[in-house]
Chain A
Amino acid sequence: MKHIKTLNTRNLCESAKKGGCGECQTSCQSACKTSCGIANQQCENKKQESAK
């Protein structure tokens, strides 16, 4: 019996190798302006990959 289901997530360790292009949105430019949310930002590279 399967007791654990792992959701599809980005592997953060892997992203350390290629990450950091910096093209992503600055978090405060979107809608909050008064707090720091990072996790809800999109990766610009991933966005392009999925658009292909």
Chain B
Amino acid sequence: MIHRYHLDDWYIVIDTCSGSVHVVDEIAYEIIGCYEEKSREEILREMSARFQEDPAEIAECYDQVTELKEQGTLFSPDVFEPMAGELKQKTAGVVKALCLHVAHTCNLNCAYCFASQGKYHGERAVMSFEVGKQALDFLVAHSGTRRNLEVDFFGGEPLMNFDVVKQLVAYARSIEKEKGKNFRFTLTTNGMLIDDDVIDFANREMSNVVLSLDGRKEIHDRCRVDYAGNGSWERIVPKFQQLVKAREGKNYYMRGTFTHANPDFLEDIRTMLDLGFTELSMEPVVCAENDPAALTQEDLPVVLKQYEDLARLMLARKKEGRPFTFYHYMLDLSGGPCIYKRISGCGSGTEYMAVTPWGDLYPCHQFVGEEAFRLGDVWQGVTNEKVQQEFAACNVYAREECRDCWAKLYCSGGCAANAYHATGSVRGVYKYGCELFRKRMECAIMLQAALQEEDA
């Protein structure tokens, strides 16, 4: 399977199964477009009529296409499907990442919160050290030979339970050597409680910090308000700036959400840049279709254009010596994930689970509060094997809609939670999200083409 697209001056052909990316000229682009349907003679005749080009040159171009096919980098067959189950089985029973919901409560009352203001449709609660410790022990015990273990402190707002976060990190550090593990911690925060102590701690212990900021003040403050209804932008931005400065190059992401109120989210990215932030992520809102924040069909062309303009902005800023990162465009074509990862996906419900303040296990943070998806708890482990099996069977070939999609090995079939919320099944497909994803990949690959050309 191949995918061809034309963006700005670039004609790009992606060969899905080999993972190859070809930057081509217009003649090659057109030849590839009809290569499998027509004979050599027909194609050469058509191209000669269409392009003012020496027929010998067109023939040479045709032969270059044939050569790529013979090398297995164009029109390569899908040989992975028979091994999909087996590849995912490689990690069966191994847990390598937990999302610890240390606080099901929040000091903000964001209108669009998928976690219903941190409560996940349940009671307010914070995780005790004992529950968190048991979660870490569960992770170590089920991690097999995996050395790198990831733990995300999440909520609600995790800094509302900061003492327990510190205790859990100290506990993990005290056992990692003896257990032969390396903990990588992430903190996701709205910034309200950041102070010098948090900054010191985060910069010492957190591999990554995810900071929630939606961009423009009026956009941010429209949704991200406290319980008195006051916007949080002015209170958090200086704290984020202080934290990022003190981080001295360690990983962080400024993560925004865009909604129906700001499909023109590139303006919000520009605001983040103006504030001095360079590691950026901007995500479409996750909410019910009838929610006023939900993105609409009318928003779609606006959003797609933002992704294109974002790629252009990144290139321009790189040329000016002011580069920045956009999470979804960080493709490393030569050092990216292996086919196992591309087939298996995010690992929710198998390698990755979320833990509630009470120690219950769920397939991921987005399923918390959906009682039917409760997998078990950190003491007994996974007891709901039926649900776990459903997630274990989720691979890129498990979704019929993905079969003919060129981007399937870039998204692994997509997010199970998005699919569930859009279709009622974890093996469904959230089509709106797919449209955005495909556009992001086209832009990211175009960026790679441009950057490799610059480096050449």
Q: Which residues of A contact B347 (CB under 8 A)?
A: 26-27
Using C-beta atoms within 8 Å of the partner chain, give the interface range for chain B: 35 or more
| Structural contact, B415 and A38, CB atoms closer than 8 A | no
Asked if B72 and A38 sit within 8 Å, CB to CB, the answer is no
Size bracket, chain A contacts: 35 or more
Query: Given the complex, which residues of A lie within 8 Å of B437, measured CB to CB?
Result: 35, 37
Chain A residues with Cβ below 8 Å from B333 are: 7-10
**Interface membership of chain B positions 388-405, coded 1 if the CB is closer than 8 angstroms to chain A and 0 otherwise:** 000000000000000000
Distance from B429 Cβ to chain A, minimum over Cβ atoms (Å): 11
The B-contacting residues of A in range 15-40, CB under 8 angstroms, are 15-16, 18-20, 22-40
Of all chain B residues, the one with the shortest Cβ separation from A6 is: B22
Known: A31-B281, A40-B327. A7 touches B449 (CB 8 A): yes
The total number of A-B Cβ pairs within 8 Å is: 227
**Contact indicator B342/A39 (Cβ below 8 Å):** yes
How far does the alpha carbon of A23 sit from the alpha carbon of B90 in the complex, in Å?
A: 12
Cβ of A5 under 8 Å from chain B: yes
* C-alpha gap A41/B105 in the complex (Å): 30
Question: Which 4 residue pairs of A and B lie closest in terms of their CB atoms, listed nearest first?
Answer: A19-B338, A20-B340, A15-B338, A26-B97
- Residues on B lying within 8 angstroms of A by beta carbon are 17-25, 27-28, 57, 60-61, 64-65, 68, 72-73, 76, 79-80, 83, 87, 90-91, 94, 96-97, 99, 114, 146-148, 150, 152, 154, 184, 186, 188, 208, 210, 253, 255, 281, 283-284, 286, 327-342, 345-348, 351-352, 364-366, 409-418, 433, 437, 440-441, 444, 448-449, 452
Residues of A within 8 A of B (CB): 1-13, 15-16, 18-20, 22-44, 46-47, 50
